[in-house]
Amino acid sequence: MINFNGYDLSSYFKVNSIKRPIMPPQQFATINIANRPGVIVGNEKDAAFAIEVGVIVKEKSLDLLRKRIRMIASKLKGKGKLIFSDEPDIYYNVIVQDTDLEEILSIGQGTILFFAHDPYAYGQEIQEGVSVYPTTVFLTPFMISEYETSSSLILNGGTVEADQIFEVTFHQSVNEFRITHQEQGKYIRLMHGFNVGDVLVIDCKNEVIRVNGTRINNKLTFDSDYFKLQIGENTLTVSPSVSNDTVIRYEPRYL
């Protein structure tokens, strides 16, 4: 079974083969240096790839076969999420690149070529709170500020770093907010007057920060640094914690 863009295509055709890589192909640059064996490899990155699906379409007549093919075409148009039955909780971001079909009487056999423009597979979105284990610390630089903080251990079960979104709801008025990734030593710090009921959204993938829908990237301190969730354990610290509820949302990514 395959599902594309929310449509279960198993009712339209049977899948007889799936060809997909073990991992994304690697794209890189090489530099050849005189009198030195081999080459220097650099600028490595995971590249887009194709997924080839072999299909069989059967009908009672050639006329019905053509109608079924037209219906299949309407379901394959545009970008969408591609899901296979052997991994029902994981999807690929794809677009149909090409199709071919050989028709013999009322039977069609051919391939659908999906182009994975994003080289990673994605799991279902995970949502966790970050408000546990309160401690007191001193925050620097710029000023010494004593705040109650909260730390949470987030486990990224994917095989690639994940992008996350933080959503913070404030229950007290504060003049700054900070969230720190302890293992990486990176943090996002905002110098802004937050009021009761304000909702702060930090989109680390797109590097966009909004309060109640209004963009406030200019309130980000110059020493702040967006970070990703590393594979495995991630200790996140929020301060001041007593003034807000912080939730993290992310989708684990896989090679």
User: For the domain that residue 214 is a member of, what is the CATH number?
Assistant: 2.60.120.860
Coil, strand, or helix at residue 125? Answer: coil
What pLDDT score does 33 carry? 87
Q: Quick one: 144 and 76 in the same domain?
A: no
**Percentage of the chain surpassing pLDDT 90?**
70
CA distance 211 to 233: 29
Q: Quick one: 100 and 143 in the same domain?
A: no
Give the chain's mean pLDDT: 89
With CA atoms as reference, report the closest residue to 121 among 69, 72, 160: 160
The torsion of the CA quartet 83, 63, 59, 19, rounded to 10 degrees, works out to: -40
What digits encode the pLDDT tens for the residues 93-109? 999 999 998 888 888 99
Q: Quick one: 210 and 190 in the same domain?
A: yes
Q: Quick one: 174 and 104 in the same domain?
A: no
What pLDDT score does 131 carry? 62
Taking the mean position of all CA atoms in its chain, how far away is CA 121? 8
Please answer whether residues 125 and 219 qualify as being in contact, where contact means their C-beta atoms are separated by less than 8 angstroms: no
Domain boundary among 119, 135, 166: 119
Q: Provide mean pLDDT across the span 136-142.
A: 43
Tokens of 161: 């770093």
Q: Quick one: 82 and 139 in the same domain?
A: no
Q: Does residue 243 carry a pLDDT above 80? A: no
Domain boundary among 69, 86, 119: 119
With CA atoms as reference, report the closest residue to 59 among 48, 67, 47: 67
What pLDDT score does 106 carry? 86
What pLDDT score does 137 carry? 42
Q: Quick one: 157 and 231 in the same domain?
A: yes
4-8, 48-52, 210-214, 227-231: segment of lowest average pLDDT? 4-8
The domain containing residue 155 runs over which residues? 126-254
Residue spans of alpha helices (H) in the chain: 62-75
Q: Quick one: 96 and 45 in the same domain?
A: yes
Coil, strand, or helix at residue 70? Answer: helix
- Exposed / middle / buried, residue 253 (Cβ in 10 Å: 0-12, 13-18, 19+): buried
What pLDDT score does 132 carry? 46
Characterise 66 by phi-psi region: left (phi > 0), alpha (psi -120 to 50), beta (else).
alpha
Interstrand relation of 145-156 and 253-254 (parallel, antiparallel or unpaired): unpaired
What pLDDT score does 76 carry? 94
Distances (CA, A) of 106 to 12, 15, 59, 109: 14, 17, 5, 10
Q: Quick one: 79 and 144 in the same domain?
A: no
148-157, 172-181, 202-211: segment of lowest average pLDDT? 148-157
Q: Quick one: 15 and 38 in the same domain?
A: yes
Domain boundary among 92, 119, 146: 119
In this prediction the pTM is: 0.83
Please answer whether residues 156 and 232 qualify as being in contact, where contact means their C-beta atoms are separated by less than 8 angstroms: yes
What pLDDT score does 42 carry? 85
CA distance 188 to 228: 12
Q: Does residue 238 carry a pLDDT above 70? A: yes
Q: Quick one: 140 and 214 in the same domain?
A: yes
Distances (CA, A) of 149 to 86, 174, 238, 243: 42, 13, 5, 10
With CA atoms as reference, report the closest residue to 181 among 144, 227, 149: 227
What digits encode the pLDDT tens for the residues 70-89? 999 999 999 999 999 999 99
Q: Does residue 215 carry a pLDDT above 80? A: yes
Bridge partners (DSSP) listed for residue 170? 244
What pLDDT score does 151 carry? 75
Residue with tokens 């490899």: 41
Q: Quick one: 130 and 242 in the same domain?
A: yes
The structural domain count of the chain equals 2
Q: Quick one: 216 and 177 in the same domain?
A: yes
